Amino acid sequence: MAAPLLEVKDLKKYFKTPNGTLHAVDGVSFTIEEGKTLGVVGESGCGKSTLGRTILHLQESTGGQIFFEGQDITNVTAQQLKELRKNMQIIFQDPFASLDPRKSVSQIIAEPLKIYKVCANRREIIKKVGELMDTVGLATRLAHSYPHELDGGRRQRIGIARALALNPKFIVCDEPVSALDVSIQAQVLNLMQDLQKERHLTYIFITHNLAVVKHISDEIMVMYLGHMIEKAPKRELFASPMHPYTQALLSAIPIPDIDVPKKRILLRGEITSPIDPKPGCRFAPRCNYARPECFEKTPELREMRPGHYVACHFAGELKEQEGEPA
């Protein structure tokens, strides 16, 4: 088996807020192999975006370790970080907010090339920008357009071209299609899959859209209030989710079809924010199966089946109760 491209061990990111310490990412560990896609799902506020940004050092981690190609990159100097960024890139959610409105398409795509001085002269930059635009399916006549003149799908392609400019190995995709209409979303998803195949890219795909994550990922990790509560290969996860939250989440997806039997598990309440969390399962207050011990002891992540990890005290036992109405 290939060595993992990225390994994250017990990663923590806390924020200080006036009300206490917010545990946005709290002890998350995982590995990704080269050329694979790890999907990260969860509701807003579960720490999935923070996770991506912390790995890329856009935010400094509070604890834990990050390894990239076997090297510890948890603490790096500014110089090392700059080198690192050649290999690790990010695609943002909002294709409007993530593009400087005062820069033309070609300027935006050329920026990384200029920063790293990868091209010897302007001519080469121009050629490379043209190449990148071609790769992501943007007509070169748009080189002098500004982001506001383009639709969401094209804008997102600019974001992708910028991320690809330095030929990275690893890309964090932070909700890259959430702001797009379905027909455009499909175009962008296809593009990302093609690029992955062509360039052997490794993705972390952060989204709240479960259908999209199932489509594009190899493995899926579910997060809840900073904890990773379940991780499994995608088919396994969708076929037999073990954590009560995952079960509820999957049952809540509206399926675009009729005559599908639906047994929806409705959850009580809403996601809170993990400020100064007490020990115990963070999902317990909303869990339909919660027992006293759930409120006392934080469940460990256990491997219930090969590759299928769950953080729930009663993971195995809940299977039988699945059909029970909530």
Partner 1 sequence: MQIKRKRVQAVPDRQDDILSLKKSSQALEIWGRLVRNKTAMVGLIILVVLILTAIFADYIAPYGYDDQVLDDNFIPPCAEHIFGTDNFGRDIFSRVVYGSRISLQVGLISMGFAVIVGCIVGSIAGYYSGVVDNIIMRIVDIMLAIPSILLAISIAAALGPGLRNVMIAIGIGSVPQFSRIVRASILTVKEQEYIEASRATGASDLRIIVSHILPNCIAPIIVQTTLGVGNAILNAAGLSFIGLGVQPPIPEWGAMLSAARQYIRDYWWMLTFPGLAIMLTVFALNVLGDGLRDALDPRLKS
Partner 2 sequence: MEKLLSIRDLTIYYASGKRTVKAVNGISLEIEKGKTLGLVGETGAGKTTTALGILNLIPKPPGKIVSGEIFFEGEDLLKKTKKEMRKIRGDKISMIFQDPMTSLDPVVTVGDQIAEVIRLHQTNSPKEAEKKAIEMLELVGIPGERYNEYPHQFSGGMKQRVIIAIALACNPSLLIADEPTTALDVTIQAQILELMANLRREFGSSMLLITHDLGVVAEVCDNVAIMYAGQIVEYGNLRHIYRNASHPYTEGLFGSIPNLNDEAERLKPIRGLMPDPSDLPPGCSFAPRCPYATARCHEEDPAVCEIEPGHLVKCHRYEKAEEGEHGSATS
Contact positions vs partner 2 (CB under 8 A): 43-44, 151-153, 181-187, 189-190, 193, 208, 210-212, 214-216, 238, 248-249, 251-258, 260, 262, 264, 266-267, 270-271
Locate the DSSP E strands across 108-194: 170-174
Buried b (16+ CB within 10 A) or exposed e, 244-265: bbbbbbbbeeeeeeeeeeeeeb
Q: Decide whether 113 or 175 has the Cβ nearer to partner 2.
A: 175
d(CA 7, CA 30): 6
* Residue nearer to partner 1 on the CB measure, 109 or 242: 109
Q: Nearer Cβ to partner 1, position 137 or 233?
A: 137
Count of residues making up the chain: 326
**38, 129, 290, 311: which one binds partner 1 (CB under 8 A):** 129
According to CB under 8 A, which one of 82, 197, 263, 291 is a site residue for partner 1?
Answer: 82
- DSSP secondary structure letters along 298-320: PPPPEEEETTEEE--TTHHHHGG
Token output for 55: 């790995």
| Residue 200 lies near partner 1 (rule: CB under 8 A) | no
Amino acid at 280: G
State phi, psi for 75 to the nearest 5 degrees: -115, 115
Q: Which is nearer to partner 2, 109 or 237 (by Cβ)?
A: 237
- The answer to whether 111 contacts partner 1 (rule: CB under 8 A) is yes
Shortest distance, position 131 Cβ to partner 2, whole Å: 23
Nearest to 68 by CA among 204, 229, 196: 204
Provide the binding-site residues for partner 1, judged by CB under 8 A.
53, 56, 58, 81-82, 85-86, 89-90, 92-94, 97-104, 106-107, 111-112, 115-116, 122-123, 126-127, 129-131, 134-135, 140-141, 143-144, 146, 148, 159, 162, 165-166, 198
